[in-house]
Structure 1
Amino acid sequence: MQASFTPDGELLVPSPTAASPWSDEMLNGHHMGGLIGWGVQRDSPDPEFQLSRMTVDMVRAVPMVPLRVETRRGRDGRRLRAVDVSVLAGDLEVLRGSAVLLRRSEHPDSEPYAPTPWDVPSPEQIEGGPTGPMSWEIRRINPWGSAGPGRVWMRETAAFVEGEELTPLVRAALMADFTNPLSNSGPDGLAFINTDVTMYLARDPRGEWIGMESAGHLGHEGVAFGTTWMYDQDGLIGHCVAGTLPDPRIQARQRS
């Protein structure tokens, strides 16, 4: 499959693989997280630091045009780094994000409460295949819209930037946006679009597959958010939160 972006000097040129399912003139939210994660890793490649938190603010629809990713170190400490990321189409900022990276160290001998590890079939045990023109594959652990938390395995099937290896951090960043459809869908489908997503990681994923499990939805008077747990095949690795607004256009498309 074609890489999602091709480098052209300081620009990244999106391919049709990166287009949204809602409009072929708009970048997919999946790739918005990827751009922020890619920018953070380009700015801070030090293996001693772990990306702890990444936030993506979807300030406007991102057009399918050459994009420039700019980063700025807000703090460059011995144990903590803070990075701001801006994605521009020409001179217009179309996407922004931020990240906090923490230096890896000896972990305390402590056992705070944590959720029970999930016990689900491996992705190899679940029937699946290509997801049309999309750059990822989904294997559903339970049926879409069924009672209880949604659970899926996902993996990226295309390079993010042509000529570059798809890193574990970027794999995780790409999947964070799926928090919205997974945690904010009900029996009648999805009624919300997300305006942001924040991902917390305790460690980078191992292997191609990333598991996502809905941890719940909360909303009132049109303002809502949904949360997910994030896994690899070795266990729990992180947590994502997506803020959302209702969008009648999504419901209309699902009914048509």
Structure 2
Amino acid sequence: MTTGIVARDSYYERTGEHTYKPTAHAGGAWQTDEQHFSPLAGLVVHAIEQHLADRPGNLTLARISYDILGRLALDECEIAVETVRPGRTIELLEATVVINGRPVVRARAWLLASLDTSSVADSPHERLPAPEELTPWAMDEEWNGGYVSSIDVRRMPPSRRGRAAAWVSSPLDLVAGEPSTTLASYIALVDTANGVAVQQDPTAWMFPNLDLTIHLHRQPRGPWTGLDTTVTFGPTGQGLTSSVLHDIDGPVGHAEQILTVRPL
């Protein structure tokens, strides 16, 4: 009889220096043979941090914006990272995700120098109730896919359609056998926002997001990602998901997602 550490489940497995294979846990909510964008967003941050791993300096990710260019098939993806604007105090990086030979995501990340501004740190946003104060929500009863089935969601009772606050965590590793930073693991849960405060029944309406932009005024702590979310539908097929982002210590930033709203 042999004993040892049992490997944890993960969203991705590394297949090469810059390539990753998604597992079934990365399956999407709209189509189960596609990737949910949430873990892929975290994987992009993981790749960016590896790109920066051997670099000296004290730069912190302050904004990352993703444009979703095409179908996110549940297939092997390659992530290339390049420096667009180098600098000691401000730097701009770009990451491109390629699946089946086609670019499907482009992301740009602004890195800013870390300074001590604790004496003026402040935010007008109230803290969310702690995760343990909220009731678990079976999100997979309303949404499909391996990703939704993998996460622990604690949601406040929605006050109205399109308005909810929730905490999200995951017991899975981002990449099998590799440590991930708190930041990458945190961002890997942010795209869940579009499903926690729905405006309309997703069996009657589609409202996938075409992008995700995250601004951070503070680096988050894990393991919970807090989403104080508002979803707005306009009259001509566009929508917007807006979230104040939290960790257990309070607000850390904002996230915005533009939606294409279509009847099924």
Distance 1:181 1:203, change over 3 A: same
Please point out which of 24, 40, 56 is paired with 2:32: 24
The alpha carbon displacement at 1:77 in A equals 0.4
AA aligned to 2:238 is V
Q: Pairwise CA RMSD of aligned residues?
A: 2.5
Match for residue 13 of structure 1?
Answer: 21
Instruction: Note if 1:100 corresponds to 2:110.
Output: yes
AA aligned to 1:202 is H
Q: Residues 194 and 231 of structure 2 are in contact (CA less than 8 Å); yes or no, is this contact kept in structure 1?
A: no
Q: Distance in 2 between matches of 1:246 and 1:215?
A: 15
What SS does structure 2 have at the residue aligned with 1:160? strand
AA aligned to 1:40 is I
Instruction: Note if 1:163 corresponds to 2:177.
Output: yes
Q: How does 1:131-210 map to 2 (within 5 A)?
A: 133=146, 134-143=149-158, 146=160, 149-182=163-196, 185-186=198-199, 188=201, 191-210=206-225
Match for residue 254 of structure 2?
Answer: 239
Distance 1:104 1:93, change over 3 A: same
Q: Distance in 1 between matches of 2:74 and 2:23?
A: 8
Q: Residues 183 and 221 of structure 2 are in contact (CA less than 8 Å); yes or no, is this contact kept in structure 1?
A: no
What SS does structure 1 have at the residue aligned with 2:184? helix
TM-score (norm 1): 0.85
Distance 1:5 1:148, change over 3 A: closer
Match for residue 136 of structure 2?
Answer: 128
Instruction: Note if 1:54 corresponds to 2:60.
Output: no
Count of residue correspondences: 245
Q: Residues 239 and 260 of structure 2 are in contact (CA less than 8 Å); yes or no, is this contact kept in structure 1?
A: yes
Return 27-36 or 156-165, whichever deviates more: 27-36
Q: Distance in 2 between matches of 1:69 and 1:110?
A: 38
The alpha carbon displacement at 1:91 in A equals 2.3
Amino-acid identity (%) = 22
Q: Which runs of 5+ in 1 are unaligned?
A: 250-256
The alpha carbon displacement at 1:34 in A equals 1.6
Q: Distance in 2 between matches of 1:148 and 1:36?
A: 28
Match for residue 3 of structure 1?
Answer: 10
Match for residue 3 of structure 2?
Answer: none
Q: Which runs of 5+ in 2 are unaligned?
A: 1-7, 141-145
